[in-house]
């Protein structure tokens, strides 16, 4: 658990490299590399995928932050200085996901790209990026879990992590970030396997949305950080359930389409 990979003090100035920021950059570059590789295999122009991923990154960061502030708007109204600390947070994943999907959909339509094929190419990359990114969450202490007596519970001791994310110190908690990272790696492997077999266009992406919804609902049950609630369940669980049902419906409706080669 290292919020900062290293810190330097030069002429009275403090320089620090946030571990989460580094892992986020690594996650994005890995995902982009894989997306371009998968695009080439699917016969898509890699340049178009690069443009889409940059647009998705920018819109995703904005969307994740907007939903973060929207869920706790009363708190941020009462504590405007907390807006700055919120910028250091990853935000809410589904806010970024929805913003990225809408942005890419607009660009795909404007450029006349095969939308489902682009989505299928992107799905394994998204899962891989999430798997690596959650390791950064664990290092920073954000997205932390509930207290637990299980033998694999983790205990944070970094005052800096507590200051930045509010993670409790000296208490054994669920390593929720590692749960999701492991499940995301499994999901990534499953999507790669599916993409190598005959499948209907859009099925790789829709299976990603459906399976991620299941794993997110499960992992949320171990989370202990404040992230908004609707009807006594977390906002992310509500969005995950809606996304999962939508993906299941689309999978059912597209079952008669002939599989692609």
Local confidence band at 206 (pLDDT 50, 70, 90 cut-offs): very high
> What predicted TM-score, i.e. pTM, was given to this entire model?
0.85
Average pLDDT over residues 169-174: 95
Q: Contact 7/16 with Cβ under 8 angstroms?
A: yes
Helix locations, 112-234, DSSP H: 115-140, 159-165, 176-195, 203-220
Instruction: Please tell me what DSSP assigns to residue 112.
Output: T
Q: Taking 60 as the threshold, does the pLDDT of residue 36 lie above it?
A: yes
pLDDT tens profile 93-140: 778 888 888 998 898 888 888 989 999 999 999 999 999 999 998 988
What are the pLDDT digits (tens) for 248-260? 999 998 877 756 6
pLDDT at residue 175, as a whole number: 96
Q: What DSSP designation does 157 have?
A: -
Which of 9-18, 77-86, 103-112 shows the lowest mean pLDDT across its residues? 77-86
Written as six digits, the tokens of 43 are: 């016969």
Task: Look at residue 6 in the predicted model and tell me its pLDDT.
Answer: 62
In this structure, of 25-39, 40-54, 109-123, 209-223, the range with the lowest mean pLDDT score is: 40-54
Tell me the pLDDT band of 245, cut-offs 50, 70 and 90: very high
pLDDT of residue 26: 92
Tokens coding 198:
């005959």
Can you give the residue ranges of every domain in the chain?
A: 4-253
The 10 Å Cβ neighbour count of residue 189 is 14
């Amino acid at each position: 658990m290292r919020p900062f990979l290293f810190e330097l003090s030069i002429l009275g100035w403090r320089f620090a490299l946030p571990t989460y920021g580094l892992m986020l950059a690594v996650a994005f570059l890995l995902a982009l590399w894989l997306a371009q590789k998968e695009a080439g295999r699917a016969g898509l122009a890699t340049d178009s995928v690069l443009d889409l991923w940059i647009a998705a990154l920018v819109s995703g960061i904005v969307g994740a932050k907007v939903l973060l502030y929207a869920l706790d708007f009363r708190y941020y109204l009462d504590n405007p200085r907390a807006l700055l600390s919120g910028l250091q947070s990853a935000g809410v994943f589904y806010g970024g996901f929805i913003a990225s999907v809408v942005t890419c959909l607009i660009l795909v339509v404007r450029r006349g790209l095969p939308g489902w094929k682009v989505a299928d190419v992107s799905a394994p990359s998204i899962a891989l990026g999430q798997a690596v990114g959650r390791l950064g969450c664990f290092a920073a202490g954000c997205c932390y879990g509930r207290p637990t007596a299980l033998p694999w519970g983790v205990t944070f001791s970094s005052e800096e992590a507590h200051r930045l994310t509010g993670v409790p110190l000296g208490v054994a908690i669920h390593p929720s970030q590692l749960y999701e990272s492991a499940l995301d790696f499994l999901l990534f492997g499953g999507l790669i396997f599916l993409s190598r077999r005959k499948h209907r266009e859009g099925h790789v992406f829709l299976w990603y949305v459906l399976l991620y919804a299941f794993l997110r609902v499960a992992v949320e049950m171990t989370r202990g950080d404040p992230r908004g609630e609707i009807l006594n369940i977390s906002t992310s669980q509500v969005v995950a359930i809606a996304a999962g049902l939508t993906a299941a419906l689309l999978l059912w409706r597209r079952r008669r389409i002939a599989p692609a080669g």
